[in-house]
Amino acid sequence: MPPSLPPPKPAPVPVLPPFPKTSLKPVTAPKPTSPNLPVTASSPPPYHSKVPLQPPAKMAASLPSVAPKSLPPPPPANLKPSVRPPPMPLYPSTDQSRSSSNGLPRPPSPPQPEEAEFEAEEADTGPGLGLELGSMVEVNEPPQYGVIRWIGRIQGISQLVAGVELDQEITAGTDGSYLGERYFRCPPNKGLFVKLRSCRRDSRFPAPETRINQVERCNSIAFAEWGSERVEEHTPPVSGPEARQHYHGWKKGIQGHLNSCYLDATLFSLFSCCSSADSVLFCPPRLQDGAHSRTAQDLLRCEIVNPLRRYGYVCASKTMALRKLLEAETTDAGFTNQEKDPEEFLNKLFQLLRVEPLLRIRSMNHQPQECHLYQLFPPSTAPSPSSPALSPSLSPGPLSPIPLSPPVGHLRVASVQALLEASFIHSGLKFAEAPSCLPLLMPRFGKDFKMFDAILPSLTLDITDLLDETLRQCSICQSLAHWECLQCYEDQDITPGRLKQFCHTCNTQVHTHKKRASHHSERVRAPEGPWAEQWEGPLGGSRQRLELFAVTCIETSHYVSFVRHGPLPTDWLFFDSMADREGGENGFNVPQVRSCPEVGRYLSLSEEELSRLDPASLRDTVRRLLCDSYMCLYHCPQISLYK
């Protein structure tokens, strides 16, 4: 053991002499001249709540019984306990709590002399760098083992000091106090104050592993057995029974990794069984498009979509490459490791690919606005006739094969058809043209608050009366409509929650009633021409409808998707990119796709029947589809052929 330092000469010294750089001796305090902190009802117990770490029995027997010598304290005449310096920030940062790891408030650390600042900065390097509160360390030779309970500065000492709670008692130990000032609390004779740089990690335990970079781990050898192939040839989606056989099982779909479920569920919904969004895969490159745009399109087409359709599986390394491109293009550091929303991902992806917007929507008489998705903003009350606010006295309908609850306490239910109509009517919106693909975001706020207990994804979406400058039928006589009325849409006496548009005659008759005399009808925008005013008789023509092909759902910050893979009501697949996991933190997520035909019969229910469902009777997949829907995807296959 190195020899201890001689006591200082009896000359007046204003501050505690600094530790010599060659010494590893601890600092010990004399008997305090001022009383310790009182223990009150609000104070923590006198000992640390956790049992101190004990070395193995053989090591403990080999430890010397002689306590290490310590520096003698300065003459007490120089102490001025009544004068305290102003508080200073404690190591490691001022953002941390002012209480120590064992519950005691940390005392303020005095400021160090200005002449010692450069020496302190130079000295705070070495073995102690990287140690923190709770680190298991060893000090002196032969080593004494303990745990760091406090780190800070002490007046007159230029370097950071660590308060260590030792495993074994020593003669020079304290109870966590120094010069009458308590810095932490521990059993008597186990507290030791030493320079932080004199502490070393406890050699009895292996050094902590370097945290693996999970972003780069996708390209490691460990991911090799989870890899997927590149497919250059265009591969159309499969459908019907073939799709069920192709995708069903474990290690199917898109593998999740590092909060990627938002991306996995969205891509699987868009491309696994539908080609309406394939235009984004084949947009011809333009001169102004950057290298990231062309790389992203090739990656999406050849590394993700084509392999998914041919082999039914895509590994996480492919989607991570796409996430890196999104991060580089948008300067958003969260795309590779943080949770995102499907709409944020789709907007950034389509901007990166420089694709034309999917939707063109006109507000009143303004120019059409372009966007990629539409957020439903219905009024505060559901426009559906099955809503309890509108139909409080619903009676049970005919016998249903699905268990129904009593008419008391109905669920708040709305269909996507009713929500879209209500949102467009109350916002004065119209589609400037029929979309080939329509992503609709359900009305909810954040991940928790939902406006409805359940939302019924309409299997078909009729947007005929939501198109701008198109011929529309009168709601009463089916003749050419010239007027529409928002107040009639909300009227409880005439089929509430239904679009109301009238010809000249019916508009006059409907608004002759005293209840509707104050309504303000508006002209319907229709193709111009003299024939429009001279039209007589019913208006023929087909309706413009979109079909539901996928639903993305969220529960507890995790996204999954339901995909329709055929024309039958039972043709539904459920996909979860993180259905299972192999290994711990450095393991792998196992994706799964499975058939869920049970959801088909629920989607065929009316809103009234759905509002009377017994929630306890719902299977997990049905509940997630009806109660946790986040985004519904619709398409028109006929328009997709040429648009």
Task: Take residue 531 and report the two structure tokens written for it.
Answer: 């024939």
185 vs 121: which has the higher pLDDT: 185
Give the residue from 179, 150, 178, 153 showing the smallest Cα distance to 165. 150
Check whether residue 237 and residue 322 sit in a common domain.
yes
Check whether residue 258 and residue 145 sit in a common domain.
no
Q: Which of 205, 231, 251 is the last residue of a domain?
A: 205
Report phi then psi at 184, rounded to 5. Answer: -160, 175
Contact by Cβ (8 Å): 441, 631: yes
By CB neighbour count within 10 A (0-12 exposed, 13-18 middle, 19+ buried), where does 609 fall?
buried
pLDDT, tens digit, 9 for 90 and up, residues 332-380: 778 888 889 999 999 999 999 998 999 999 987 788 999 999 999 877 6
Residue 50 predicted with pLDDT over 80: no
Task: Take residue 74 and report the two structure tokens written for it.
Answer: 């300065």
pLDDT of residue 448: 55
199 carries an active-site annotation: no
Task: Take residue 257 and report the two structure tokens written for it.
Answer: 């990794």
Place of tokens 């409907």: 510
In a domain, 418, yes or no: no
In a domain, 408, yes or no: no
CA max distance for the chain: 119
3-class secondary structure, 218: helix
Cα end-to-end distance, the chain, whole Å: 85
| Total number of domains in the chain | 3
Check whether residue 30 and residue 156 sit in a common domain.
yes
Check whether residue 521 and residue 609 sit in a common domain.
no
DSSP assignment of 379-408, as one string?
-SS--STTSTTT-TT----S--SS-B--SS
Residue type, 541: G
Q: Which of 496, 520, 542 is the last residue of a domain?
A: 542
Residue 454's H or E segment, with its range, is strand 454-456
71 vs 536: which has the higher pLDDT: 536
Check whether residue 157 and residue 221 sit in a common domain.
no
261 Cβ contact partners less than 8 Å away, ≥ 6 residues apart: 558, 559, 560, 577, 578
Contact by Cβ (8 Å): 489, 482: no
529 vs 227: which has the higher pLDDT: 227
pLDDT of residue 620: 92
pLDDT of residue 409: 58
Residue 587 predicted with pLDDT over 70: yes
Residue 627's H or E segment, with its range, is helix 620-627
Partners of residue 200 on adjacent β-strands = 138
Residue numbers of the domain that contains 137: 26-37+45-52+98-205
Task: Summarize the confidence of residues 318-344 as an average pLDDT.
Answer: 88
Check whether residue 165 and residue 197 sit in a common domain.
yes
Q: What is the CATH number of the domain that holds 312?
A: 3.90.70.10
Range with the poorest average pLDDT among 179-188, 249-258, 445-454, 620-629: 445-454
Residue 100 predicted with pLDDT over 80: no
In a domain, 308, yes or no: yes
What is d(CA 532, CA 561) in angstroms, rounded to the nearest whole number? 45
Confidence of residue 496 (pLDDT cuts 50, 70, 90): low
pLDDT, tens digit, 9 for 90 and up, residues 206-254: 766 555 566 566 555 556 678 899 999 999 999 999 999 999 999 999 9
What is d(CA 579, CA 574) in angstroms, rounded to the nearest whole number? 11
Contact by Cβ (8 Å): 489, 500: yes
Residue type, 328: A
Residue 405 predicted with pLDDT over 50: no
Torsion of CA 245, 249, 255, 257, to 10 degrees: 160
Check whether residue 567 and residue 525 sit in a common domain.
no
Residue type, 209: E
Contacts 24+ apart (CB under 8 A), 260-263: 260/316, 260/319, 260/320, 260/323, 260/577, 261/558, 261/559, 261/560, 261/577, 261/578, 262/339, 262/340, 262/341, 262/342, 262/345, 262/559, 263/319, 263/322, 263/323, 263/340, 263/345
Q: Out of 186, 199, 261, 596, which one is annotated catalytic?
A: 261
Residue 313 predicted with pLDDT over 90: yes
pLDDT of residue 507: 84
Task: Summarize the confidence of residues 93-116 as an average pLDDT.
Answer: 39
pLDDT of residue 272: 96
What is d(CA 124, CA 171) in angstroms, rounded to the nearest whole number? 28
202 vs 459: which has the higher pLDDT: 459
In a domain, 61, yes or no: no
In a domain, 564, yes or no: yes
558 carries an active-site annotation: yes
Partners of residue 139 on adjacent β-strands = 144
Mean of the per-residue pLDDT values for the chain? Answer: 75
Task: Take residue 582 and report the two structure tokens written for it.
Answer: 């192999």
Kindly report the pTM of this predicted structure.
Answer: 0.64
Check whether residue 191 and residue 131 sit in a common domain.
yes
DSSP conformation class of 628: S
What is d(CA 463, CA 482) in angstroms, rounded to the nearest whole number? 18
In a domain, 370, yes or no: no
Residue 603 predicted with pLDDT over 90: yes
pLDDT of residue 240: 93
Check whether residue 520 and residue 561 sit in a common domain.
no
In a domain, 520, yes or no: yes
Q: Which of 508, 542, 576 is the last residue of a domain?
A: 542
In a domain, 373, yes or no: no
Rg, C-alpha atoms of the chain: 36
Q: Out of 482, 558, 565, 635, which one is annotated catalytic?
A: 558
Check whether residue 554 and residue 592 sit in a common domain.
yes
Check whether residue 246 and residue 171 sit in a common domain.
no
Task: Take residue 181 and report the two structure tokens written for it.
Answer: 């000032």
Confidence of residue 432 (pLDDT cuts 50, 70, 90): very high
pLDDT of residue 107: 41
Check whether residue 309 and residue 161 sit in a common domain.
no
Q: What is the CATH number of the domain that holds 175?
A: 2.30.30.190
What is d(CA 421, CA 484) in angstroms, rounded to the nearest whole number? 13
